Amino acid sequence: MELNIDTGVEEFRVNGRGVLRFNPADPNLYHRFFAAGAELDSCDAALTKALAALDGDEQQRAAAGLALLNEYDGKIKKLLTGIFGAENDFDAILGGVNLAGVGANGKRVVQNLLEALTPILREGAERRLTAAADAAAARADAARAERGAV
């Protein structure tokens, strides 16, 4: 026997490749997403500082810089998995792109991802609030009708 429950999960194809699945109206996800901003800023600042502090010859700095970028990528993907759930593999979703990489617009890939997701989550939160307000109004109408019928 199978039980199908509407959890509000939607699918978003990313760059024609992987699929990100989540409920945009989930208040827990909304709070995790926006709370992660400070942690992302902290990671980015630490990466920038560490990259600037690299020493050695050009080849040593390049190797150390790549290691730092790989470490940053792992931390951010772990954070994103914590926000969106383990069923979302960000390596697969983004085709293996390193989130520390820079897009054509000069922003880190992670920033581009977050900026693309922000309006979806805001719209989901608005939809959730509207549904809650509609449900409260319906309960109030039903209570008034019940009082009038008694």
pLDDT at 49: 93
**Owner of token pair 């608005």:** 126
Q: Is 96 helix (H, G, I), strand (E, B) or coil?
A: coil
What would the two tokens of residue 10 be?
């939607």
> What is the rounded average pLDDT for all residues in the chain?
89
pLDDT at 40 exceeding the cut of 70: yes
Q: Rounded mean pLDDT of 78-101?
A: 93
Q: Rounded mean pLDDT of 71-100?
A: 93
Contacts of 94 (CB under 8 A, 6+ apart): 14, 15, 17, 18, 109, 113
Tens digits of residue pLDDT in 8-25: 999 999 999 899 999 998
pLDDT at 150: 57
pLDDT at 135: 74
**Owner of token pair 């390193």:** 98
pTM given for the model: 0.78
Which burial class, exposed, middle or buried, applies to 84 when counting CB atoms under 10 A from its CB (0-12, 13-18, 19+)?
buried
